[in-house]
Amino acid sequence: MILLTHPTGNTFSRALLRGLEERGLLGFFATTFAARSDSFWLKALPGKLRRELLRREYALPDSKLITRPARELVRLAAERFKIGALTKHEHGFASFDAIYHDLDSYLARALPDLARRGALRAVYAYEMGAIEVFEAARELGLRRFYELPIAYWETSQRLLAEEAQRWPQWKPTLLAVDDSPEKCARKKRELELAELVVCPSQFVRDSIPESLQRGRQCVVAEFGTPPQPEPERAAIRADGRLRVLFAGSMTQRKGLADVFAAMKALNRDDVELVVVGSPLAPMEFYRGEYSGFRYEPTRPHAEMLELMRSCDVLTLPSIVEGRALVQQEAMAQGLPLIATANAGAQDLIDEGATGFLVPIRSPAAIAERIAWFADNRKQLPTMRHAAWQKATALTWERYANRIITSIESCFAESNSSAAPLPARV
């Protein structure tokens, strides 16, 4: 049996959770907060807040759920009331770092009892939430499975430090540049303790130093796409404009500065850039970089899909990513891609069929591909179908099965010993 832990229960951890439960491999699922739709206190809350909290509902019996809600609830309240000191990067009481560390530390203390009660054989954890529970698992002889959802920290910091030099005005949007040495050391130690490392893209796998790949299995399990009906093969828009969508945090980590530079170089009246996402700087900053974009705030998922269907192409020339889910969501709505391998797009793009792969840091290549779409609008209906077909073939069941197969392979190696690990400092 396996202890699966993720502080916020995001999309990909939920997919694995379902897979483990269906296979009878789930011992416990540990998270910060779990809602119950039949809770009397939840029914008393305003509708919008109730719906927000119900996103943390899990189809598991209470006996398999472990929660540690205090800091996460403070974080949600702090974000709602804009109390930035509580969520300050690394140092706030309810920062993501503090929330991850708190759950990790709690599970490490509880693990001997959990292992006994749940007949545990392994722990499956995620970056920044694994070091203490992995240390405890090692002492108990449990296997240690680790998911790295974004490029390894050394690769990320190198690329983002280069971006801070290349686009100094965008540095405030590159949050990972400010990670402390202690946080980076923690990430390294987690990977040293892991026996199986799961990556969402080849880019992430390749970002792991060879010295850390040796002695442990590193596998790629691509994220899934929720089932979507095939979109209509829309004709050219009445105004004749090509609508190019950028969706995600408004940061140069995702290549937004390069998109702006491409649009300025392109300077075409028949192309419109639509930016939807969370600003990490005042809107005046973005308008100063490129004034010609149309901004759309973040919105509920169904409305986001509707916005996607109103566009023609998604561009995401990320510098550092893991596997940006927005790519598959857009493709499922019929949008071909202009993206980088660093966005995790390498296997998504069949060149000229589902979109185009561009190098990082190349506004010229982005502009060239946008211009191609504007000049070849008649190709879009066929490309819309190909994009939908490609995305919807990648299911969440496939993702979970890939991981579970790797886990079962590790269990089958019952006579092999764990990889030698450096002594804890």
Binned at pLDDT 50, 70 and 90, residue 360 comes out as very high
Residue 36 is predicted with a pLDDT of: 79
The answer to whether residues 228 and 387 touch, using CB atoms and an 8 Å cutoff, is no
Strand partners, 67: 31
Quick one: pLDDT band at residue 163, thresholds 50, 70, 90? very high
Sign of torsion, CA 85 89 91 92?
positive
215 Ramachandran zone, left/alpha/beta (phi>0; psi -120 to 50): left
pLDDT of residue 393: 94
Class of the CATH domain delimited by 2-224+396-412: alpha beta
Higher pLDDT, 3 or 38: 3
Q: Please give the share of the chain, as a percent, with pLDDT higher than 70.
A: 93
Q: What is the pLDDT of residue 37?
A: 75
User: Looking at this protein, which amino acid is placed at residue 151?
Assistant: A
The pLDDT confidence band at residue 423, using thresholds 50, 70 and 90, is: very low
> Per residue in 156-191, is it b (16+ CB within 10 Å) or e — as a string?
bbebbeebbeebeebbebbebbebeeebeebbbbbb
Can you give 58-117 as a three-state secondary structure string? Answer: CCCCHHHEEECCHHHHHHHHHHHHCCHHHHCCCCCCCCHHHHHHHHHHHHHHHHHHHHHH
Cα within 13 Å of Cα(129), Cβ side? 26
For the stretch 2-14, pLDDT in tens is: 999 999 999 999 9
Alpha-carbon span 208 to 202, nearest angstrom:
10
Q: At 422, is the pLDDT very low, low, confident or very high (cuts 50, 70, 90)?
A: very low
Q: What is the mean pLDDT of residues 134-145?
A: 97
CATH class of the domain at 242-392? alpha beta
What average pLDDT score do residues 178-186 get?
A: 90
pLDDT above 90 covers a percentage of the chain that reads: 81
Q: How far apart are CA 159 and CA 251, in angstroms?
A: 14
Backbone φ and ψ for 296, nearest 5 degrees, come out as -125, 125
Q: Looking at the predicted structure, is the pLDDT value of residue 284 above 70?
A: yes
Which residues belong to CATH 3.40.50.2000 in the chain? 2-224+396-412, 242-392
CB neighbours (10 Å) of residue 269? Answer: 8
In the chain, the amino acid numbered 55 is: R
pLDDT-derived band at 235 (thresholds 50, 70, 90) equals low
The H-or-E segment that residue 261 falls in is helix 256-266
Q: What is the pLDDT of residue 270?
A: 95
> What average pLDDT is seen over the chain?
91
Which comes out higher in pLDDT, residue 425 or 276? 276
Residue 46, amino acid:
P
Question: Would you state the pLDDT for residue 414?
Answer: 56
Q: Where does 267-395 show beta strands of DSSP type E?
A: 271-276, 294-296, 313-316, 337-339, 355-357
Chain segment 299-341, per-residue pLDDT in tens: 988 999 999 999 999 999 999 999 999 999 999 999 999 999 9
Q: Quick check: 425 pLDDT over 60? A: no
pLDDT band with cut points at 50, 70 and 90 for residue 413: confident
Confidence of residue 418 (pLDDT cuts 50, 70, 90): very low
